[in-house]
Structure 1
Amino acid sequence: MRSFLADLSGQSAGMGILTAVVGYTSSVAVVINGMSAVGASPGQIASGLAVLCLTMGLCGAGLSLATRMPVSTAWSTPGMALLASLTAPAGGYSAAVGAFLVTGALIMVAGLWSPLGKLITRIPRPIAGAMLAGILFKLCLAPVTALGQVPQFAIPVVLTWLVVGRFYRLWAAPAALAGALGAMAFDGQGGTPTLALPPLEFVAPSFDWQTLISIGLPLFIVTMASQNIPGLTVLATYGYQVPTRPAFLATGGVSAFSSLLGAPTVNLAAITAALCAGPDAHAQPERRYTAAVVAGLSYAAIFSMLSAIATGLVTASSPILIEAAAGLALVGPFGASLLGAVREESQRLPALATFLVTASGFSFHGIGAAFWGLCAGLVVHMLYSDAN
C-alpha cells in the first residue's frame, strides 16, 4: 500500500475515475437490458449489477496491484448484447445463471489448459467478428425504431450522441444515456433514487443443455474473442505482457462466484483498457497501474451503490428508448466487427453466412441464433477452404 500511494498521482487518479465513469455509463443500459431479456427480475438485476461492479472492480484492482500493470476489468458488453438478443430460457433466470457459472468455469479452464484458449483463437477472425456483428445488429437498429415510435424523445438522444461524438467520441454514449434518462424524467418515469447497496439476492443455478449451448457457449466465445484476447492485445501494444493464467483464473473464478448473486461475466477490459495503459494515465509506464487500481475501486465503492437507481430508472422507462441508448453505444463495436468480418475476400462468404444466421434470430430446439451462426460460418469455411 505504501508503494501504491507513492506511485499514485493526481493524473493517474483522475484517469482511473474517468475510466470507471466512461465504462459504466457507456454500457450500463446494455447490461440491464441483457439481464432483463433472459428473465431477471428488477431485484435480481439490481443485485447482479451491484455484485458485478463490486467484483470486477476488486478483481481489476487486485490484478493491477499484483502485477504492477494497468489490468482493467469490465463486464462483457458484447456478451450483454448477446443476452439482449435472446428470450428468457425455459428455466428462467436460474438457467441463465447456470450458463454464467459455466462460462466462468470455462474461462478458468482456458487459464489452466492453454489448448482451450488456443482453440478460441483458431476460430477465423472474420467468423468471430461476423457473429458479434450479428449479435449487435438488432440493438443497433433500436435508435432508428425509436425515431419512429417516440420521435419527441429519440431525436434529442440521437442528436446528443452525434454532436458530442463529433467533438469527443469517448463521451458520446454516456451523453446519449444522460439524454435518455433526462427524457424519462421529463416523461415522469423512474422511481425515487436511493443511493445504497441493494439487497443481494441468491439465485440457485440450474443447468439444461439448451441454455448452456444458447447462452453459455456463445458467451464464452464472445467474451474470449471480443474482450479477453483484445484486452491482452491492447496492453501488449503499450508494453505490458500480462500473464494469462492468473488473469483468466481470477476473472473466471470471480465470474463463477458472483453468478450465484445474479451477476453476469467479468473479463479483461478491451475498450477502456487503453485509458489506463496509455500515457494520459501517467508519463512513467511503471506507475500507470495506479490508474487501473483507482478505476477498480471506483467501480466497487461508487457504482455498486448506484445499481438500484440505474435499475429503477431503466426498468421503469420506455424499453425502446433505453434500447436506443444501448444501440448507440454499440454502433462503434458493430462497425468494427462488420469491417473485420468482410475485409478478407477469401473469408467473406463464411462471415456473411455467420452474420445472416446470427442476425436472423433463428432458433432450433431451443438453441439460439449465435450458436447456429457460428456453426454455419464454420461449415461454409470448411467447404470453401480448399477453393481459396
Structure 2
Amino acid sequence: MEHKQSRWIEKGPGFGAGLGDLGKHLGIKTASAGVVAAIFGCSGPALIVIGAAKGGNLTEGQTVAWLLAIYGLGGLISLIMALYYKIPVTGAYSIPGAALVAGALAIFPFEQAVGAFLMAGLMVFLLGITGVIGRVMRWLPMPIVMAMIAGALIRFGIGAVTSIEKLPIVVGSATLAFFLSMRFLKTVPPVLSALVVGLIAVALTGSFGGGEQVISFVAPEFTAPVFTLDAFLAIAVPLAVLVIGAENAQAIGVLYAEGYRPPINAMTVISGLGGIAAGFIGGHNANIAGPMTAICSSDQAGEDREGRYAATVLNGILFAAFGIFAGVAVPLIMALPGPLIGAVAGLAMITVLLSAFQAAFDRKAGYQIGAFVALIVAMSNISFFSISAPFWSLLAGALVSLLIEARPTAAEHRAEATPAE
C-alpha cells in the first residue's frame, strides 16, 4: 500500500476505512496474534520496568504512572497507526530503554529522569517532522536493514529453543502443538494452538507462579520534571537513539520484509509525541515497537496481508487496558511462566525471520558483505555509549558497503525490497 506524502507526514486510507473494514478482518488468526503480542509485551518487559522502579526507590503510585504511560499510550499508538494506515504498525515502548533508565536511576533522581524523558521525546519528534529519518531509511540498502532485523530478532527464535530446557513439558508440548497445527489444522493459527496447549500444560503441571512483584491498585502519582544537562546527555540522547535506531528501525524493516510500505516519518513523529506524552505522565517512552510489530505483521496474523492490522488493533486495546489496570494486571500476567511466553513469541516470529534472512542474502539485491556485517553486529548484542546493537548494526553494515560495495540509489533498493502490488 503506497502512502502519499503531505509535507512531512504520509497519508493513509484514513480512520473511516480502517474502522469500516475492521470487522471482516478480525478473525481467529488476527486475534490470536494480537493476544500473543500483548502477552509478550505485558510480561517480561513489564518486569524490567517494575525492577527499574524498585531500584530507583519509586513509590507505588509513580510505578503505576510509569506503566500507565508506556502501556496506555503504546496501545493508543497501535490504534491510531493501525486504523489510519491499515497496516500492523504496533506501539509499545523501548525495552532496552527501560534497561537504560534502570541503570540511570541509580545516579539521577527520578524527576531529572522525567525531564530527560521529555527531551528524548522532543528529539525523536523533531527528527520525524523534518523527514530526516525517512530520508536515511530510504537511502539504506534493504539487505542491510533486513540483516539487522534477522540479527536483532534471532534471539527470539533461539529463546524458543532454550525455553525447552527450562520448562521441558510445558514448552515442549506448546512447540509440538505449533508444528502439528501447522501441518494438520489449516484453519487454526499454529501460535494459538501453541498458547492453548502450553496453558493446559502449565495448569496440569502446576507451573503457574505467584509472582514476587506485586503492585497494589493505587492511583498514579505524577512527577514534575526537572531538566539538567547531565540527564540530557546520559538519558535523553541514548534513549532517543534507542527509539529510532532499535525500535523504529526494527519495525520498519519487519514491515518491509512482510511486503508493506511503512509510513516512516509518521512512525517517527508519533514515537516522539508518545515520548513527550509519556514523559508528562512519568514514563520513559511510548513508541513503535519492533517485536510486537513482527508478531502482528507475520502470517500468523492471517494470510490476508491487508487484514493483519486487526491484530495490532486488538493488541492496542489489550495494551491500553493493561496500562489502565496495571496495579491489578501485573501480578496476574506475571503468573504465566516466562519460558512459555518466550517460546510462543519465538515461534510466532519464524516466518518473519525467514523473510528477513531471504531478503538480506538475496544475491540479486547485492550488498552481501555489508548485510553479513550487519547481521553479526546485531546478533552480538553489543552496546556502546548506552546505544544498543541494532543501531551499530545499521551503521557498520552501511559503512562496509560504502567502502567495498556499490552505493545504492533509493529507487534501486526500494524496488528490490517492495513486492509488486
- Both proteins in one fold, TM over 0.5: yes
How far 1:293 sits from its partner (Å)? 11
Q: What residue in structure 2 maps to residue 225 of structure 1?
A: 249
Q: Which of these residues, 294, 318, 333, is aligned with residue 352 of structure 2? A: 333
Q: Is the 8 A contact 1:173 1:325 kept in 2?
A: yes
How far 1:379 sits from its partner (Å)? 2.6
How far 1:177 sits from its partner (Å)? 3.9
Cα separation, 2, equivalents of 1:54 and 1:326: 22
Q: Structure 1 residues 122, 258: closer, same or farther in 2, change over 3 A?
A: same
Q: Is the 8 A contact 1:184 1:190 kept in 2?
A: no
Q: What residue in structure 1 maps to residue 178 of structure 2?
A: 161
How far 1:8 sits from its partner (Å)? 6.9
Q: Is the 8 A contact 2:243 2:287 kept in 1?
A: no
Structure 2 matches for 1:1-388, cutoff 5 A? 12-13=22-23, 15-16=25-26, 19=30, 22-30=33-41, 32-37=43-48, 39-41=51-53, 50-59=68-77, 61=79, 70=86, 73-75=89-91, 80=95, 90-92=103-105, 104-166=121-183, 167=185, 171-185=189-203, 186-190=206-210, 199-200=219-220, 202=222, 207=231, 209=233, 215-227=239-251, 249-259=269-279, 260-262=281-283, 264-267=285-288, 272=296, 295=314, 298-299=317-318, 304=323, 307=326, 311-344=330-363, 346-364=366-384, 366-385=386-405
Instruction: For residue 217 of structure 1, give the secondary structure of its aligned residue in structure 2.
Output: helix
Q: Is the 8 A contact 2:159 2:342 kept in 1?
A: yes
Segments of 5+ residues of structure 1 without an aligned counterpart are 282-287
What is the identity, as a one-letter code, of the residue corresponding to 2:91? Answer: W
Instruction: Figure out how many residues of one structure are paired with residues of the other and give that number.
Output: 366
- RMSD of equivalent CA atoms: 5.0
What is the identity, as a one-letter code, of the residue corresponding to 1:334? Answer: L
Moved more, 19-28 or 157-166: 19-28
How far 1:263 sits from its partner (Å)? 6.3
Cα separation, 2, equivalents of 1:296 and 1:152: 28
Q: Is the 8 A contact 2:241 2:387 kept in 1?
A: no
Q: Is the 8 A contact 1:53 1:299 kept in 2?
A: no
Q: Structure 1 residues 304, 20: closer, same or farther in 2, change over 3 A?
A: farther
What is the identity, as a one-letter code, of the residue corresponding to 2:37? Answer: S
What is the identity, as a one-letter code, of the residue corresponding to 1:119? Answer: V
Cα separation, 1, equivalents of 2:192 and 2:152: 21
How far 1:114 sits from its partner (Å)? 1.8
What is the identity, as a one-letter code, of the residue corresponding to 1:171? Answer: P
What is the identity, as a one-letter code, of the residue corresponding to 2:346? Answer: G
Cα separation, 2, equivalents of 1:264 and 1:178: 32
Q: Is the 8 A contact 2:38 2:315 kept in 1?
A: no
Q: Deviation digits for residues 317-353 of structure 1, max 9, x if unmatched?
A: 5443433233223333223222222224731211211
Cα separation, 2, equivalents of 1:114 and 1:29: 31
How far 1:91 sits from its partner (Å)? 0.7
Cα separation, 1, equivalents of 2:89 and 2:218: 22
TM-score (norm 1): 0.69
How far 1:113 sits from its partner (Å)? 0.7
Q: Structure 1 residues 261, 74: closer, same or farther in 2, change over 3 A?
A: farther
Cα separation, 2, equivalents of 1:128 and 1:363: 18
TM-score (norm 2): 0.65
How far 1:155 sits from its partner (Å)? 0.6
How far 1:104 sits from its partner (Å)? 4.0
Q: Is the 8 A contact 1:131 1:373 kept in 2?
A: yes
Cα separation, 2, equivalents of 1:163 and 1:99: 49
Q: Structure 1 residues 252, 369: closer, same or farther in 2, change over 3 A?
A: closer
Instruction: For residue 262 of structure 1, give the secondary structure of its aligned residue in structure 2.
Output: coil
